[in-house]
Amino acid sequence: MISGNESCTAGLMPMSYLTCLTYILGEWTGVEHIEDYLSYAVYLLWVFLPLAIVFILPGGLVVLFYTSILLLHIYKRKNELKEAYSNDFWDGAKQMLATLWDAHGRIWHGYELHGARNIPEGPGLVVFYHGATPADYIYFMARLLIQKKRYCHVVADHFVFRLPGFKILLDAHGVLHGPKEECVSALKKGCLLAIAPGGVREALFSDEMYTIVWGNRKGFAQVAIDAKVPIIPMFTQNVREGVRTLGGIKILRSLYERIRLPIVPVYGGFPVKLRTFIGEPIPYEPSLTADELTAKTKAALEALIEKHQKIPGNIFRALMERFQTHEKDD
């Protein structure tokens, strides 16, 4: 009996390694013309590889989040004694993670922050448009901490607090659940606070037209009125070209409205150019009602979008903007 390896080299003309492998598989499986099946499998691989990549790339952000969580656990373990006596225990960890995320923003997106001078010295409520992921806000927070030594707290959706392993990350950054009283209290203490009124619904179901999806939400405006602080509008250019969602599928929208969990698939993770623009503050006016302040804030955010975003958004154009050699003016 002749072995598979011997049969590959038998005869006047030796076989190539690929032909040899095909021969061995055919002998082992007993399938005739197995090379035709393998050719078809390779063809399918090439066809679906780009599709697989665009769904896998957003996982890089998940890896970065859990890398941050791991670093926080290491930091906490190495500073257990300091935790018992220090009020600013997480300051070093925040600087560490800010450096990590800022590096990611610079390398992957050529991230730029414009209009930081519009952020007041004291407390303020930053209101921003929510992309498919919160990565642009994290880049903003990191750059602000590095450049201005200012930290910006944020209000997150309730489901974020149920994500496995995220508790230490949320505790370290002082992320708020969002009750009005808690937000007002943080602002009265002099904190800078950020909120996306559209929340998860805007993240999942807005699109390349950059439509603001706030519904009837105006609680953020009442928070600013009660705390007597200005509202600072903020928008990140090309944020929906970096990662997109399949939120246009009606059944997914209906499912979200029933269970309120972000199960809509996302795709992308493209290294598009990201620029965050901070608009001029809307000062506190005691005569303004929550409805009026909401309308005023929405108009200011829409003005930022109109000024800095080409509608509809285009992934290829956003990728080409990475090759611009100069930073855009504020």
Where in the sequence numbering do the catalytic residues fall? 130
Measure the CA–CA gap between 293 and 272, rounded to whole angstroms.
33
CA 293 to chain centre: 28
Please provide residue 322's backbone torsions phi and psi, each rounded to the nearest 5 degrees: -65, -20
Q: Pick the closest to residue 153 from 114, 119, 188, 126 (CA basis).
A: 126
Q: Pick the closest to residue 197 from 302, 309, 62 (CA basis).
A: 302
Contact 215, 201 (CB under 8 A): yes
How many CA atoms within 13 Å lie on the side-chain side of 119? 27
Please provide residue 30's backbone torsions phi and psi, each rounded to the nearest 5 degrees: 80, 10
Cis peptide before 312 (omega within 30 of 0): yes
**89 Cβ contact list (under 8 Å, min separation 6):** 79, 82, 83
**138 Cβ contact list (under 8 Å, min separation 6):** 101
Residue 289, helix vs strand vs coil? coil
Angle subtended at Cα 102 by Cα 97 and Cα 107, rounded to the nearest 5 degrees: 130
Measure the CA–CA gap between 157 and 119, rounded to whole angstroms.
24
Question: b/e string for 69-102 if b means 16 or more Cβ within 10 A?
Answer: bebbeebbeeeeeeeeeeeebbeebbebbbeebb
Residue 175, helix vs strand vs coil? coil
